[in-house]
Amino acid sequence: MSVVLEPFESAYTGPWLAGVDEVGRGPLAGDVVAAAVILDPQQPIDGLNDSKKLTEKRRERLFDEIQQKAAAWCIARASVAEIDRLNILQASLLAMTRAVEGLASPPEHVLVDGNRLPKWAYSAEAVVKGDSRHPAISAASILAKVARDREMVAFDQQYPGYGFAEHKGYPTKTHMAALDTLGVTPIHRTSYAPIRERLEQIELF
C-alpha cells in the first residue's frame, strides 16, 4: 500500500526560502546536477510536483516558467571526475552546495530533498521525499532533471550508439549491451561497478 505524504511546512515562514534537489545519482554516465530555487509568492506556479511524476512535455514547460517567475534560481553540478574521486553521495552534496551558493540572492533557510544536509553555514532542513512535499523543492527537481536530460540528449549525438537520449545514462539493458559492444566513454563513471569491471577486463588482455 502506498504511503500518502503530508505537505511539508517549515518553521521558517519568510520569503527567502530555497528548495534544493539533485538528479543523477543512479546513472553510469554524466554529471550529477543540482538546482536551488527561491519561489516568488507574488508569482505562483501551478502544477509543481516531483519531476519524476510529470511528463516530459510538462517538465519542459515548467522549466521555462520557473526560470521566468522564481525570485532566484541556480543550476549546478559535480563532474564525473568529482563523482569518481569523492563518491556519489559527496558529489551530490557538493552539487547542491554549489547550487545554493550560486543563487543571486542568498537564502535565509534551505529545504533539501532527502535525509542528508551538506556541511554549510545555511539554516537548513532535510525533507524526505521533499520533491513531492514542498513546491520550492519540486521546482528545483524540475530544473535539475530537465537540465541533465538535455545534456544526455546532447551526449547521444557525441557518442552515438549508446542510447543516452533514451535512458539518460541509467543501466538499462540497451546501455549495458552498448558498453559491451562499444566500450567505455569519457563520460562514464569509472568508480561504478559495471564500468570498473569492464575496464578491469580490458586490462587483463
CA distances from 39 to 43, 67, 95, 125 (A): 8, 10, 20, 17
Question: Does residue 129 sit within a domain?
Answer: yes
Is 93 part of any domain? yes
pLDDT tens for the chain, residues 1 to 205: 455 678 888 889 888 999 999 999 999 999 999 999 999 999 999 999 989 999 999 999 999 999 999 999 999 999 999 999 999 999 999 999 999 999 999 999 999 999 999 999 999 999 999 999 999 999 999 999 999 999 999 999 999 999 999 999 999 999 999 999 999 999 999 999 999 999 998 765 4
Tell the burial category of 156 from Cβ atoms under 10 Å away from its Cβ (0-12, 13-18, 19+).
middle
CATH of the domain at 82: 3.30.420.10
Is residue 176 included in any domain, yes or no?
A: no
Question: Is 50 known as a binding-site position?
Answer: no
Is residue 196 a part of any domain in this protein? no
Q: Give me the domain span that covers residue 24.
A: 17-157
The number of domains in the chain is 1
Q: Determine whether the annotation assigns residue 180 to a binding site.
A: no
Q: Rounded to 5 degrees, what angle do the CA atoms 32, 201, 83 make?
A: 15
pTM of the predicted structure, to 2 decimals: 0.94
Is residue 30 included in any domain, yes or no?
Answer: yes
